[in-house]
Amino acid sequence: MRLFIAVDLPEPWKDALDQAARRLAAGSRQGTFTRRENFHLTLAFLGELPGPEAAVRALEQVRVPGFSLTTAPPGRFPGGRGTLWWVGLEPAPGLLAAREALVRALDGQGLWMDPKPFLPHLTLGRQVRLREDFDAAAWEAALPRLTCRVDRLTLMRSQRIQGRLTYGPLYRRRLGKP
């Protein structure tokens, strides 16, 4: 099964991200845009594993306080078939400490293989091609700055169910008091 560890986002974040993604879609001639219920922050992508057990053990070993999460300006990863658009997150010490603790715990279970630097982001759309008349400055100006507390990490399973990308929680780990 395809697994990753994520931060669930509160409903007001999903509303704001959904609006941003819809406005981006309206200004695009191509793209796959994140569905409202699928917004999340990936802390660690694990890929295909035979089961959730080792990932659950790793999460049980994560002992860090809860932390606050704040959005940062949007950005893009260009690609051959279009551009991935995202909203950034501030690389605040609490977030980075939680990610570090998680990577150490995953490594302890032999689950850590991703050498890429951590660029925390919330994906709005992939393979996006904008229309000529898209006003990126106005789009960016309308993005609200969001803040929330994070008090748990979630082991998620990623599946295509009848062609539809679906993420389902398998296990939740509560974080400590700050």
Helices (runs of H) and strands (runs of E) counted in the chain: 4, 9
Residues of this chain, 79-118, that bind ligand ATP according to CB under 6 A: 114
Contact between 143 and 124 (Cβ < 8 Å) = no
The DSSP output letter for 117 is P
Distance of CA 77 to the CA centre of its chain: 15
Nearest CA to 25 among 152, 103, 101, 126? 126
Give the nearer residue to ligand ATP in terms of CB position, either 65 or 125. 125
**Residue 123 sits in the site that holds ligand ATP (CB under 6 A):** yes
When CB distances to ligand ATP are compared, the closest residue is 158
**Residue 158 sits in the site that holds ligand ATP (CB under 6 A):** yes
Q: What is the rounded end-to-end Cα distance, in angstroms, of the chain? A: 33
Active site residue: 74, 121, 124, 173, which one?
Answer: 121
Give the nearer residue to ligand ATP in terms of CB position, either 74 or 137. 74
Residues of this chain, 124-143, that bind ligand ATP according to CB under 6 A: none
**Residue 2 sits in the site that holds ligand ATP (CB under 6 A):** yes
**Residue 157 sits in the site that holds ligand ATP (CB under 6 A):** no
- Decide if 14 is catalytic: no
Nearest CA to 122 among 164, 70, 67, 158? 70
Q: Of the candidates 165, 168, 172, 176, which one interacts with ligand ATP according to CB under 6 A?
A: 165
- Decide if 104 is catalytic: no
Contacts of 118 (CB under 8 A, 6+ apart): 96, 99
Give the nearer residue to ligand ATP in terms of CB position, either 4 or 33. 4
Question: What are the residues facing 128 on neighbouring strands?
Answer: 83
Helices (H), 27-92: 53-60
The interface mask with ligand ATP, positions 15-44, x = CB under 6 A, is ---------------------------x--
Q: How many residues bind ligand ATP (CB under 6 A)?
A: 8
The DSSP output letter for 65 is B
Chain residues that interact with ligand ATP, rule: CB under 6 A: 2, 4, 42, 45, 114, 123, 158, 165
